[in-house]
Amino acid sequence: MVGLKPSQVYLQVNNRRLLEAELGRLGIAPELRGMVFRLIDRRDKMRASEWEAYAAELGLSADSIRGIAQLLEDKDLWRKSEELRSFFQAVKALGLEEYVEYDPAIVRGLDYYTGTVFEARDREGEFRAVLGGGRYDNLVGDVGGERLPGVGFAMGDVVIQLVLEKFGCLPSLRAAPAQVLVTTFGPGEVGASLDLGRRLREAGVFVEWYPTPDRLAKQLKYADQAGIRFAVICGPDESVRGSVSLKDLAKREQIEVKIDSLAEEVRRRLLEPAEV
């Protein structure tokens, strides 16, 4: 949840099967419907006169163009679709109806969509679509796999950032989710470093492993720049003693800890404030 309100963003929804049926009612042949979907998808990118001229160039009759245009103005068309009626019933049950609207012009231009399709936008229309996608029943089978229905979407990372910034909802995120960096002291310590990472993860600690035995100063600098508070160092001397060095990069402190006590010590210190 990022705090965006229904007055700021919304999801536009339509259904390909519904449109297929309506285009059939208008007498548009099945082999032309993919072309018509792409035509509809371009409607908000062109002036009305240009769009109609383009439709005529594609070979559509004046009656067909007029029928399609009327279709795209019918905001109650969704009531003819059992799928969309069930969909909006579920949306209401989830308490999300303020975020979702039916729009007969949402078709998604790609041919592989077969059912419900959707796009998310900001209410003022300042930006491109935040995301878009839909249901596809045949895509996996078409590329050689088993017939496996699915739903997918693509999101624009730049657009969602712009929308979040506009409405003051951009969260403050850490540079890295890891709480501990397990360093690699040398080529012979790779296995030991991996084992330390495993132990910490099993204890519920978020861990990143530095995979190459670069200079220790370089590894610690990486952790510091990434916002990772702790670094675990296991060199030959510590290994002989069955221990590791635990460095608190925020407090600039370093202690030696037995390997069996490492996870408990890290978890205890994570509860402490990161005072410099």
DSSP bridge partners of 245 = 233, 256
The type of residue at 48 is: A
CA atoms within 13 A on the CB side of 187: 0
Q: Write out the residue limits of the CATH 3.30.930.10 domain(s) in the chain.
A: 9-166
Average pLDDT value for residue range 254-259: 95
- Give the dihedral of Cα atoms 41, 46, 52, 58; nearest 10 deg: -60
How far separated are the first and last CA of the chain, in Å rounded?
A: 32
Q: What is the CATH number of domain 9-166?
A: 3.30.930.10
What pTM, to 2 d.p., does this model score?
A: 0.66
pLDDT band at 175 (very low <50, low <70, confident <90, very high): low
pLDDT 10s digits, 14-39: 999 999 999 999 999 999 988 999 99
Average pLDDT value for residue range 45-69: 91
Question: What pLDDT, on the 0 to 100 scale, is given for residue 198?
Answer: 95
Average pLDDT value for residue range 238-250: 93
Q: Which residues of 69-78 are buried (b: 16+ CB within 10 A; e: fewer)?
A: eebbeeeebb
The region that residue 97 occupies, defined by phi over 0 for left and psi between -120 and 50 for alpha, beta otherwise, is alpha
Question: What pLDDT, on the 0 to 100 scale, is given for residue 258?
Answer: 96
Which CATH architecture is the domain 180-270 placed in?
3-Layer(aba) Sandwich (3.40)
Q: Write out the residue limits of the CATH 3.40.50.800 domain(s) in the chain.
A: 180-270
Average pLDDT value for residue range 76-88: 96
Average pLDDT, the chain: 91
pLDDT 10s digits, 98-150: 999 999 999 987 888 899 999 999 999 999 999 999 999 888 777 777 888 88
Dihedral pair phi/psi, residue 228, rounded to 5°? -90, 120
The alpha-carbon radius of gyration of the chain (Å, integer) is 28
Task: Let me know: does 199 contact 262? Beta carbons within 8 Å.
Answer: yes
Element (H, E) at 202: helix 190-202
